[in-house]
Structure 1
Amino acid sequence: MTSELQSSKQIYDFVIIGSGFGGSVSAMRLAEKGYRVLVLERGLRYEDEDFPKNNWLLWKFLWMPALRFFGFWELTLLRDVMAFSWSGVGGGSLGYANVLVDPDDKMYEVGNWAGLNEWKSVLAPHFDTAKRMLGRSISPSITEADKIMRSVSEKMGRGSTFKNLPVGVYFGTQGIEVDDPFFNGQGPLRSGCTFCGGCMIGCRENAKNTLPKNYLYFAEKLGVEIRPEAQVTEISKAKDGVGDGARYRLRYKNPKSVYRSVSGEIYARNVIVAAGVIGTLNLLLQCRDVSRTLPELSVRLGENVRTNSEALLGVTDLDPASNHTEGIAINTVFHADDVTHIEPFRFPEGSSFLSRLLVAPMIEAGEAGVAYRLWLLLLAILRNPWSFIKSKFDPAWGRRTFLILLMQTEDNLMRVKLGRSLLTLFRLGLTSDRGKEKQVPAEIPIGHQVVRAMAAEIDGLPMGNIVEGALNASMTAHILGGCLMGSNDAEGVVNKELEVFNYPGLYIVDGSIIQANPGLNPTLTITAMAEYAMSGIPAKN
C-alpha cells in the first residue's frame, strides 16, 4: 500500500477543506510558497451565468441536499439562532453583501486572544493586503432606503456616523467588459456593476469581486487543484507506513450521491479546515465525539460561538410606486449608538423568497416563552391582516420592502455541540446552548427603535422576523467563533498561529477562529486573519 500511495498523486502537502475566504487565501499563499495544494469544496463550481435569475429557483438557490437542492445558500436553524452559510467554489463570497470594513477596535480587547499578541498592529499589514486583493472601493450610490436611514440618523443626533461603505465591487462603466482593472491586467476580464441588486443571489454581471476572480483565480494559475462536490466526512491520523510524510487521511463523499458511502480518500502532510463555522464545528465535533478519529481535540471546541450580535428586520413601503430592489446589496451604514451599526440591504426584483419566508409582524416580547410570543404575533396579524397577507402573496410586496441588518460589538456567547432535538429530527446533529451569562440576544431594542423610525419616515410598516418573533432566537449572516485561541488545549482549540493543539499540521482558518464580535461585517477580518496565518508558514524546501 505504501508504494502505491507514494507513486500516486493522492498525497498533498496541504489539503484545504472549504473554498471561502479562509480557504481561498490559504490556497493561493501556500501555492506561492511551492506547496502542492488540493481544495475540497462540497458545493458546485459556478460561472456567472450559472447563478439563479431569482431566489425562487430554490433548487439553484438553496443548499438542501435532502431535498435535492444544490444551490449555495444554506439556512441552519439551531435552538438559539438561525445562521446563514454558503456552499460552492468561492464559499461565502458567492452570496455575501460585498461589504469590506475594518472591525471596531473593541474586537481586539475582548475574548481569549486578547493577551496572546498585539493583534491590531500585527494584523494591520494583512488588512492592507486583503483590501488590495479583494478590490475594495467606496460604494458610489445612495438608494431611497439609504436616504430614509440618513434622515433617521440625523433625527437621532447620529447623522455624522452615516457613510457609504467600502465594498468589493468593480464600478466601471455599467455592463462594459474590460481587461482586469485590479491586478495590472493579470486577472480575469471584468464588467462594470449594473446596480441590479443581485449581489446576494449570485452576481451574473461579472462585477462582484468574488474569490474565483482574485484569490482562487491566482491559486489555480499557480497549480492548486480544486475539487468541487467533495464533502469531507472524516479527518484521521494517517497510519504508520503510509510514507512520504503523510500525517492525515481525509475521507469525503459527493453530496449529490444518494448513498452515504465514502467516495474518496486523500492523504495529506497538513490540513486546513476552512469550512465555515457550521461546517467546521460539525466536522470536528464528529471527529472528536463520534468517529473518535481526533479524540484529543480540546474539550472547549464549540464554546464561545457568537452571532456578531445581529438582528435582521425590515420596512415595507406602502407607496405602490416604490422600488427598493435596485442598487448594490448594501451601500451605507450608521451608528445608532456606540455599539450598534445599522445597514439597509436588498434583494433584486423578483427575488423575495427569503423575505417572504422569514418576515413577520414586529412585536416586543422580551424573554417571553413561545406560547406568549405566538399569541402576540397572532394579535399583530389580526390587527392588520391585509398587510400580512400581502407580505406572503402580493407580487409587488418584494419590490416595496427593504431589509435592515443590525450588528453590535456587545459580547455574547453560546455553545454549539452535538445532540438530538426536534430541530435535528432526533438524529445526531448540531444543537446550541445559550448558557446563563452573556446570552445571545434575539430582540435588540435599539434595532426595533430604528426600524420603527424608518417606517414612520415613509408611513410604512416595520417588520420583524419569524425566528425572533416566534422562537426568541436570533438570526445571523455572520456566525463566528467556536474554536477558541489559547496557550494550551485547556484554554483553546488553536494556538495563536491557528494550529490545532495536539495535532501538528492541522489548522483552522475561517470564521470559527474570530475571537470577538467585530460589530460590522467580518469578511475583511477573516481574510486578514487567513493572510496572517499563511504568513507564518515557511516556504517549501
Structure 2
Amino acid sequence: MAAELTRRSVLALSAAALLPGPPSRVRREHHRVIIIGSGYGGAIAAYRLAEAGVRSLVLERGRRWPILPGGDTFPPFLAPDRRSSWFTPAPVYPGMPPTVYRPYAGLFERVRGDGMDVITGAGVGGLSLVDGVMLQPDGDVFSRVMPAGVDYQEMADVHYPRVRARIGARSIPDDVLAHQRYAPTRLFLDQAARAGLPAGRLDEACDWSVVRAELAGTAVPAASIGEYLTGINSGARTSVDRNYLAWAEASGLAEVRPLHVVTDVAASSSTGRYAVRARHITADGDLVEELVLTADALILAAGAMGTTRLLVRARDTGALPRLNDQVGLHWGNNGLRLYLRALIPEPTGAYQGGPTSVAIMRWSDPARATTVEFGPAPFPVETHAMPVPGIGLCEPAGRFTYRPLTDEVRLTWPSTADAVAQASIRDTLRTLVAGTPSPGPQPPLTGIAVLDGLLSAAAAAPYGLLDMNALEPYTFHPLGGAVLDRACDLYGRVHDHPGLYVLDASLIPGSTAACNPALTVAALAERCLDTLVPADAGTVF
C-alpha cells in the first residue's frame, strides 16, 4: 500500500509540474545565466562566472545541509530517518535498515532503470556532500576512455591540481592513520602488500584537522566512526557548498535557490534563448509556487541522470527538437561493483574510521585497470568484515528513451557491458583473499537484521566475498548521456544550440578510467570553463 501511494504521489507531482498553474502563482523572470544543479559542475560554473563578473541563478532541487553545532545535520547510516531519501517513505540506499517515515526532501533518490538502478543525490552541493574520493586516473587508462580531444597532460598539469587545491583534497595523515580507529585501514594495506597488490593512500575531500578533533574528543565523532556515507556531521567533508559555491554566493553575483525542482527545459518563445519550468517546494513537498524562467545561457549540471533526462525529454517532446541523436547515449556505470568481504582472520574493528582513504590500484594493464578500495563502515561491533568496492572499465552501452505514455525517460543497461570490470575486480579480490589464507571466524551478529543478513551471505559466499550488485544492480557513479564530441563539443557546448551547455558527469562516456568520478568531473568542468568563459561570456551570452 505504501509503495502504491508513493507511486500515485509521484505521478501526481509529475502531472502537476506539467500543467499550467493559476496565473497568480506562476513567477516569470529573466536571467543572464541559469545553472541547473549545484554539485561539482554547477558550483564550479557559478564560481568561474562570478570570477568573470557574470551573474547566474543556480537552481537546486534539494535543501541546504548546514553543519549544525549539535552534530545532527545528516542521518546516521544504520539509523535512517526521513532525511535519508528524496520523497519516499523508506530508505533507498542499499544496506540501510528498513524503516518507514513521512516523505521528505532527503539526501538520496533511487532512479529505477531497466537493468540498472542509480543512486543520486539531492542537496546544495550535490553528491559532494557524501562522496569525496579524489582519485586521479593513470594517463594510459584515461586515454582509453576519454575523447582524443581531451588532453591528459593538460588535465594532470592544470586542472586536477587546481581542483584538489580549491576543494582541499588531501591524503590521510600519518598520525590519523596510526590511530586505533584506523587499524582496519592499516590492515587493508598490509593484506594488499602480502598479496603482492599495489596499494596506497587516496586524496579525499576531507579536512583531516577536523578528524583529528574527532579523535581527540573535541568534535562530534562522525568520519572517525565510519559515518561519512550520508554526510559528515563534524564538518570534515569539504563539499562544494563550502568552497566553490560559497565563494560564488559571497561575490553577490550568484544566487542559489534550494528546493527548486526543474521539470522541463525548452527553447524560449519570448525573452532569452531558453526557458526553464520549475516548482518551488517546501522540504515536505508542498508547492510554494511555479516558475517559468528564461535565460540567455542555460548550463545543465544536474548529473548524468538529471541532465540527460531533461535533454531527452526536451528533444522527444519537441521542446528542443534540434538536439541530435547522440543525446541519451554512451552512458555507463563506471564499472562499479560493491563487495562485502567476510571471514577476515584479523580484527577489522567496530566503527571503522573513515572516510575512504586507501585502495589497491592495479593499473599496469590499461585494458583491465582496476581499483579496489576499503570502504570503512559504521559496524557497531567487531564483524571480521570489510566493504570493498571495486571500479573497473565498462562499455558506455547505456541509453535513455522517452516513454510518452508515462512522460518518463528511462535508462536501459545491458548486463554484459561491465563484464571486464566484473572479472578484473573479482580477480583482484580473490588475489587479496589468497594472500590471507587462514579462514576467519564466522561474522558475529550485530542485532541489525539487514546487516546480519549481508554478513551471513558473505560468509557463505565463495572466498567470503558477497557481490552485492549480483543481489540488485545499482551504481553510485552514473556517467554519460550528453557526451563530449558527440552530443556536445569538446568544451560542453551542446551542438546547434548556442548558449546551451552541459558541465557535469553527463559529458563522460561511461567511465572515469577505473577511478571515482568526482575529481575528473570537477577537473573537466574547470577545463571547459577555461575556454567557455573568455570565448562565450559577452558574445554568446
Q: Which of the five TM-score ranges fits, normalised by the shorter chain?
A: 0.7 to 0.9
Displacement of 1:72 after TM fit?
1.0
Cα root mean square deviation, aligned: 3.3
SS of structure 1 residue aligned to 2:399:
strand
SS of structure 2 residue aligned to 1:264:
strand
- Counterparts of 2:247 and 2:160, CA distance in 1: 19
In structure 2, what residue type is equivalent to 1:89? Answer: V
Retained in 1: the 8 A contact 2:129–2:231? yes
SS of structure 2 residue aligned to 1:285:
helix
| 2:389 counterpart of 1:405 | yes
Displacement of 1:334 after TM fit?
1.3
Task: Choose which of 39, 61, 66 in structure 1 pairs with 2:58.
Answer: 39
* Alignment correspondent of 2:169: 136
Residues 148-227 of structure 1 correspond to what in structure 2 (within 5 A)? 148-158=187-197, 161-172=198-209, 174=211, 195-223=224-252, 224-227=254-257
Deviations 1:369-411 (A, max 9, x none): xxxxxxxxxxxxxxxxxxxxxxxxxxx48x6542111112x34
* Alignment correspondent of 2:310: 283
Displacement of 1:453 after TM fit?
4.1
Deviations 1:343-386 (A, max 9, x none): 01023356xxxxxxxxxxxxxxxxxxxxxxxxxxxxxxxxxxxx
- Counterparts of 1:455 and 1:286, CA distance in 2: 51
Task: Choose which of 386, 391, 399 in structure 2 pairs with 1:416.
Answer: 399
Displacement of 1:87 after TM fit?
0.8
Residues 114-125 of structure 1 correspond to what in structure 2 (within 5 A)? 114=148, 116-121=149-154, 124-125=157-158
Deviations 1:48-69 (A, max 9, x none): 2321244532311122457624
* Alignment correspondent of 2:147: 113
Kindly tell me the number of residue pairs found equivalent between the two proteins: 455
Task: Choose which of 336, 341, 357 in structure 2 pairs with 1:331.
Answer: 357
* Alignment correspondent of 1:101: 135
SS of structure 1 residue aligned to 2:341:
strand
In structure 1, what residue type is equivalent to 2:167? Answer: L
Residues 515-526 of structure 1 correspond to what in structure 2 (within 5 A)? 515=509, 516-526=511-521
Change (3 A) 1:219 1:482: same
Change (3 A) 1:425 1:104: farther
- Counterparts of 1:112 and 1:164, CA distance in 2: 25
Retained in 2: the 8 A contact 1:39–1:225? yes
- Counterparts of 1:13 and 1:145, CA distance in 2: 51
In structure 2, what residue type is equivalent to 1:521? Answer: N
| 2:407 counterpart of 1:445 | no
* Alignment correspondent of 1:147: 186
Task: Choose which of 120, 123, 140 in structure 2 pairs with 1:88.
Answer: 123
Change (3 A) 1:105 1:425: farther
- Counterparts of 1:404 and 1:425, CA distance in 2: 41
SS of structure 1 residue aligned to 2:133:
coil
Change (3 A) 1:84 1:173: closer
* Alignment correspondent of 2:269: 239
* Alignment correspondent of 1:70: 105
- Counterparts of 1:148 and 1:79, CA distance in 2: 38
- Counterparts of 1:442 and 1:303, CA distance in 2: 22
TM-score normalised by length of structure 1 = 0.76
Residues 384-533 of structure 1 correspond to what in structure 2 (within 5 A)? 396=381, 401-408=385-392, 410-418=393-401, 428-434=408-414, 444-450=425-431, 452-453=433-434, 459=440, 461=459, 462-469=464-471, 473=473, 475-486=474-485, 492-515=486-509, 516-533=511-528
- Counterparts of 1:38 and 1:449, CA distance in 2: 49
Change (3 A) 1:337 1:213: closer
- Counterparts of 2:405 and 2:30, CA distance in 1: 38
- Counterparts of 1:191 and 1:129, CA distance in 2: 30
* Alignment correspondent of 1:5: none
Task: Choose which of 320, 327, 336 in structure 2 pairs with 1:301.
Answer: 327
Task: Choose which of 44, 57, 60 in structure 1 pairs with 2:83.
Answer: 60
Retained in 2: the 8 A contact 1:104–1:520? no
Task: Choose which of 337, 343, 357 in structure 2 pairs with 1:311.
Answer: 337
Change (3 A) 1:112 1:337: closer
Displacement of 1:514 after TM fit?
1.6
- Counterparts of 2:150 and 2:347, CA distance in 1: 54
% identical equivalent positions? 23
In structure 2, what residue type is equivalent to 1:347? Answer: A
* Alignment correspondent of 2:6: none
Q: Which runs of 5+ in 2 are unaligned?
A: 1-26, 91-102, 442-458
In structure 2, what residue type is equivalent to 1:477? Answer: F
Q: Which runs of 5+ in 1 are unaligned?
A: 1-7, 178-189, 351-395, 487-491
Displacement of 1:110 after TM fit?
2.8
In structure 1, what residue type is equivalent to 2:303? Answer: G
In structure 2, what residue type is equivalent to 1:535? Answer: D
Retained in 2: the 8 A contact 1:43–1:229? yes
Retained in 1: the 8 A contact 2:487–2:494? yes
